[in-house]
Amino acid sequence: MNIQTRPYDHPDALKLEAEVQQEYIERYDGDGDTTPLDPTMFAPPSGLYLIAYDEQSRPVATGGWRSRDKNGEGYADGDAELKRMYVISECRGLGLARRILAVLEADARAAGRIRMVLETGIQQPEAIALYASAGYAPAEKFGHFREYETSRCFAKPLTHTSP
């Protein structure tokens, strides 16, 4: 797999965005993710958006982070918010999400962010399992879906650790 930096409004990103929105609609009985996102939010050095391509140059996975600081939605200064982690169904279980997550965490850390935060939902148990296995812990709710009962928030410090 080949992981490339792309703009959030790249045609391949838009294709996978449509697919993930359809999955949200199916999993949450008609509700997609209505979080307001602008392509500039993922522009380095304040964010990053990645697309993984298979051997046939087909886009198969995405993920991004954007800078967030203290505001009325419950973010804290120095937060990096993980967004649009998605792997197409036939490529799940290959470790792509974990690889993308590691690149995003390293990039956010290098950009001076101190904590990676994310919101997911109870209808995405595979996502919750991935984040828990990667060191994310439940966090106080924040963001666009903070008042939804089906929402779950997680956080992980982006501190450098000694071997």
* 159 pLDDT more than 80: yes
Please give the residue range of the domain that contains residue 120. Answer: 2-157
| pLDDT of amino acid 1 | 86
Residue 150 lies in a domain: yes
* 76 pLDDT more than 50: yes
The residue ranges of DSSP E strands in 17-68, in sequence order, are 47-53, 59-68
CATH number of the domain to which 62 belongs:
3.40.630.30
Upper half-sphere CA count for residue 158 (Cβ side, 13 Å): 25
Residue 162 lies in a domain: no
Tokens of 106: 């390293």
Full-model pTM = 0.92
Count of beta carbons in the 10 Å neighbourhood of residue 163: 2
CB 95 within 8 A of CB 83: no
163 pLDDT tier (thresholds 50, 70, 90): very low
Tokens of 158: 């982006």
Residue 97 lies in a domain: yes
Q: What is the mean pLDDT of the chain?
A: 92
21 pLDDT tier (thresholds 50, 70, 90): very high
* 132 pLDDT more than 60: yes
The count of domains in the chain is: 1
Residue 87 lies in a domain: yes
Q: How far is CA 142 from CA 16, 42, 76, 108, 119, in A?
A: 25, 19, 9, 19, 8
- The whole-number average pLDDT for the span 128-140 is 96
